[in-house]
Amino acid sequence: MPAATELQLLRFLPFRLNRLAVEVSQNLAQIYRQRYGIDVPEWRILATLGAEGRCTAQAIAASTRMHKTRVSRAVAYLREAGHVRVAGGTADGRETQLQLTPRGRRLYETLVPLALARERELLATLDPVLAAAFLEALDRLETALQLPRTEAALRAGRPEGPRQTARQTSGSTARST
């Protein structure tokens, strides 16, 4: 039997992970998309601020692993929409503390149960034993890939990874993702 050159895309782990993640995200996003007018980046910020109380954009970026420009723009939107406000400056004049407005907190408290319900729904399709194994496997993969798994890990954390930009060679158009 020769070295494996057989690859079924539908059985290929990276592909499956991508597909699953997209599906789950889209699925969940629809819940808060048109109904509440917020999108994934905004949702992540709400979730972070909702749990943390208050923190800087930088902290949000690190925690959500979103690019700081994405955070910046999503925060701008959320402020416009009245969900987030600046919670005064810090000793450090460069950074700005952010927090939810009452309106933002109401939204947060509306969304969290929906999100958790959806999560439970997903895990319910696995029996408890399998679900536990699945989460355990996730933990290990995250560890192997050095993804921060706790707040604590974050504070000590590695800086956000650079995203390679593509195909300067041989093509007329460059791409990424």
Partner DNA sequence: CTTCTATAGTTGTGATCGCAACCATCGTAG
Partner DNA sequence: CTACGATGGTTGCGATCACAACTATAGAAG
Between residue 52 and residue 71, which ones bind DNA under the rule CB under 7 A? 56-59, 61, 66-71
Q: Identify the DSSP state of 94.
A: T
Regarding 99 and contact with DNA (CB under 7 A), the answer is no
What's the min distance (Å) between Cβ of 157 and a copy of itself? 11
Angle at 159 (CA atoms; ends 153, 164), nearest 5 degrees = 130
Binds 96: which of DNA, a copy of itself, none (CB < 5-8 Å by kind):
DNA
d(CA 84, CA 49): 9
Binds 3: which of DNA, a copy of itself, none (CB < 5-8 Å by kind):
a copy of itself
Question: Count of alpha carbons within 13 Å of 72, Cβ hemisphere only?
Answer: 4
**Would you call 17 helix, strand, or coil by DSSP?**
helix
Q: Identify the DSSP state of 10.
A: G
What's the min distance (Å) between Cβ of 48 and a copy of itself? 6
Q: How many CB atoms neighbour CB 40 within 10 A?
A: 17
| Residue among 94, 129, 144, 169 that touches DNA (CB under 7 A) | 94
Regarding 176 and contact with DNA (CB under 7 A), the answer is yes
What's the min distance (Å) between Cβ of 96 and a copy of itself? 20
Regarding 72 and contact with DNA (CB under 7 A), the answer is yes
